[in-house]
Structure formats: C-alpha cells, structure tokens
Amino acid sequence: MYGTIELTDLKLNTDIGTYSDDDVVPSAHLLDLTLSIDPALVLIEKDGMAHIFDYDPLIAEIDGLARDGHYETQERLITRIVAACAAQPQINAVEICLRKTPVIGNSGALGVRLVVDADQLAQLR
C-alpha cells in the first residue's frame, strides 16, 4: 500500500528557453507531479491538517522557483523542484514531468520526465 499526491496540468508562470525569430515560442509550461507518501497520511482516523501532508507550502515554493528568473532548460527547473521535494521528509518518491506547448505550429507538447525512487531521493537529502 502506498499513497500519492497528484498534481496535473499546473500552468507555471516561468521563462524557459532561448528562441530565435523563426522558432515556435511556447505559450505554456505545464507541470505534472506525483508524490509518493506514507499511506498513513491519507488513511486518517481524524479529520485535520495535522494528520496529512500539507502540500500547499510546496506548491507555493514551486511557484516561486518557476518565477525565479530565466532558465535555459526545463531540466534545471525540474532539478530545483525535485530538491524542494527532497526537503520534505514526508515525500518518499517523486515523478515529475514538465512540458511546453505548442511545439510546431499550434500543436504538440514536449516534456521532460524524471522518476526519483525512495533510495535516490534519500541520496539527494
């Protein structure tokens, strides 16, 4: 048994990439994030924030990281988000995907996905 917190299609206000006049400039960068947590933080006997993982501060930190200046690559922002997740002891593993859209014309999404298991997340700590 395991628990997850899933965030999908979060449109980040970020500045990623360098583009020439002929390039398609993305109109959106979208984040998907799955956090593995102890199921005891999901199957709770009493209602209340003290019994769960409060993800709101992490979301606020991710928003701050996204707005924290220009990034050349999606990978750098992903790295910083994973580090923020690693700082949360309640998080056991992370799957993250950051994608930009459009890619050609008015279509497509191109993303980078990273899966960090429990052992790898422990090493990052």
The residue extents of the domains of the chain are 3-124
Instruction: Specify the fold of 3-124.
Output: GTP Cyclohydrolase I, domain 2 (3.30.1130)
pLDDT in tens, 1-11: 889 999 999 99
The model carries a pTM of 0.93
- Match 């050609």 to its residue by tokens: 104
Cross-strand pairs, 37:
3, 91
- Look at residue 100 in the predicted model and tell me its pLDDT: 94
- Residue 33 pLDDT greater than 90, yes or no: yes
- Look at residue 20 in the predicted model and tell me its pLDDT: 86
pLDDT in tens, 45-77: 999 999 999 999 999 999 999 999 999 999 999
Determine how many CB atoms are found less than 10 A away from the CB of residue 109: 14
